[in-house]
Structure 1
Amino acid sequence: MLLFDVLNPFWWLAVVIIGFKLYALVDAAIRREDAYRAADKKTKPFWLVVLGLSLGLDLLLGANVITGFITLIGLVASIVYMVDVRPAIKELTDGRGGGRRNTGPYGPW
């Protein structure tokens, strides 16, 4: 039975979607909480709940790519996080989760 799942392109698409949602959730979890406020985005707990519910429902109910309305809503939330929130936070924290580095009194060096 697993052989037929591996040959199904929709199964692969569901695996990719779950992997993307997992990556977005882990990324949201490792970012600093104050960076969300500094970037003028929703709070860290908000994004953790939204992304966690999205991933959890897909793992619980199955990521149905064709008719899964919940899967698509969660995918949109993950895309919004990755395209809008993550770059703003990464710009503030220099991508390392901490403060800016390699900056002198007159700017970066």
Structure 2
Amino acid sequence: MISVGLDLVFWVLSIIAFGMSAWALFHATRTPARAFAVTGKQTKKLWLIILGLAALFSFASAVGYFGIGLGQLNIFAIASVVAAGIYLADVKPAVSEIGKGGNQGPYGPW
């Protein structure tokens, strides 16, 4: 009984990991390559490769390709979460600020 509940928890975590990786990949594809260069982050091409692999591995984990059952967390799924987390926490805020002109005062937009 506990095993079934634990399998369900790991499956939900795998689905969340895939969603996080897919969201990061979607944002990276919509961001202009110039924004990555201006902020001093890695290139857009490298981030697309990293996030594409992260989405692939987290999807494979969610559907149970690597394990016996669904939702088996493994080193690839954990690496996917780390890669997507780094992108969403560090790169996304930096590149999102590029191109947002407008009236910026010393305390924010007016």
**Same fold by TM-score greater than 0.5:** yes
Percent of residue pairs identical: 30
CA contact (8 A) 2:17 2:58 kept: no
Q: Which runs of 4+ in 1 moved over 2 A?
A: 57-65, 101-104
Question: Is there any run of 5+ residues in structure 2 with no aligned partner, and where?
Answer: none
Letter in 2 for 1:78: A
Q: Which amino acid aligns with 1:53?
A: L
State how far apart, in whole Å, the 1-side matches of 2:13 and 2:57 are: 16
**1:90 is aligned with what amino acid?**
S
CA distance in structure 2 between the aligned counterparts of 1:8 and 1:38, rounded to whole angstroms: 43
The answer for unaligned runs of 5 or more in structure 1 is 95-99
Q: Which has the higher contact order (CA 8 A, sep 6+)?
A: 2
TM-score, normalised via structure 1 length:
0.75
In structure 1, how many angstroms separate the alpha carbons of the residues matched to 2:95 and 2:30? 11
For residues 36-51 of structure 1, the aligned pairs below 5 Å read 36-51=36-51
TM-score by length of 2: 0.75
**Residue 10 of structure 1 aligns to which amino acid in structure 2?**
F
Matched, 1:64 2:65: no
Does 1:74 pair with 2:75? no
2:17–2:80 contact (8 Å) kept in structure 1? no
Tell me the distance in 1 between the aligned counterparts of 2:24 and 2:99: 17
Cα-to-partner distance string for 1:51-96 (whole Å, 9 max, x where unaligned): 001111232335532xx001111111110001110111112233xx
- The alignment yields a C-alpha RMSD, in angstroms, of 2.4
